[in-house]
Amino acid sequence: MAAMEEEPLKRARAHEIGQDLSLLSVDELTARIEVLKEEILRLEQELSQKGATRAAADALFRRG
């Protein structure tokens, strides 16, 4: 029965900062750029939320 089992799907390897890009195709590079842009947006949103939370906390504690 082991022969009938499928191999697990290989997941695309995550982009690593500084990795060699010479072996990637134009499509792969474009896809990675899109993923990284989405991740930057997600990081900026989280930073904005944390900044707003901190500003609210600072304002609350400065009243005293």
- Is there a contact between 24 and 32 (Cβ–Cβ < 8 Å)? yes
pLDDT of residue 40: 97
- Is there a contact between 15 and 32 (Cβ–Cβ < 8 Å)? yes
Averaged pLDDT for residues 13-40:
93
* pLDDT above 90 for 46: yes
The label of the residue with tokens 């134009």 reads 26
pLDDT of residue 51: 86
Return the structure tokens found at 44.
Answer: 């900026």
Identify which of 7-11, 13-17, 60-64 has the greatest average pLDDT: 13-17
pTM over 0.75: no
Q: Distance (Å, rounded) from C-alpha 37 to C-alpha 34? A: 5
Averaged pLDDT for residues 9-35:
88
